[in-house]
Amino acid sequence: MAACIFCKIIKGDIPSFKLFENDKVFAFLDIQPLSKGHALVIPKYHGAKLTDIPDDSLVDILHVLKKIAVATGAENYNVLQNNGRLAHQEVDHVHFHLIPKPNEKEGLGIGWPAQKLEMDELKKLFEEVKAKM
């Protein structure tokens, strides 16, 4: 955690353009934005993946994401959160991107390589996941 860039930002060791802070959440502008208003919202609790973060922090994060979305005035935007290297996570501290999408050229570009599952495969998967919840 001592080496975590986001923990350093929270502590003030690295400067940021802070948009919001309370006892559980910290939000700031991304210094390499995909569009104007691109912000990061992070829990103050250090955890690498979403499943590591206490539920009460996650609730607060959603409220802050909404506040920033309203404040940017963005009619269209993405909320992105990655878990693990294969899912494109580069910083091992949970973080949510709020990325305004003002036009086709700015903001997040995304591909959606959808798969087709047969209904029996989908039903089996549903039963497996549901049983674990």
pLDDT greater than 90 at residue 72:
yes
From 38, 46, 63, 95, active-site residue: 95
Q: How many domains does the chain have?
A: 1
* Residue, of 112 and 8, whose pLDDT is higher: 8
d(CA 128, CA 102): 40
Please give the model's pTM, rounded to 2 decimal places.
Answer: 0.91
Model confidence band, residue 113 (pLDDT cutoffs 50, 70, 90): confident
CATH number of the domain enclosing 44: 3.30.428.10
Q: Is 97 a catalytic residue?
A: no
3-state secondary structure 104-133: CCCCCCCCCCCCCCCHHHHHHHHHHHHHHC
Burial class of residue 128, CB neighbours in 10 A (0-12, 13-18, 19+): exposed
Structural domain harbouring 45: 5-132
Please, which pLDDT band fits residue 59 given cuts at 50, 70 and 90?
very high
Q: Are 132 and 115 in contact (CB under 8 A)?
A: no
What are the backbone angles phi and psi of residue 98, rounded to the nearest 5°? -110, 115
- Across the beta sheet with 96-100, the strand order is 18-21, 25-29, 39-43, 96-100, 77-80
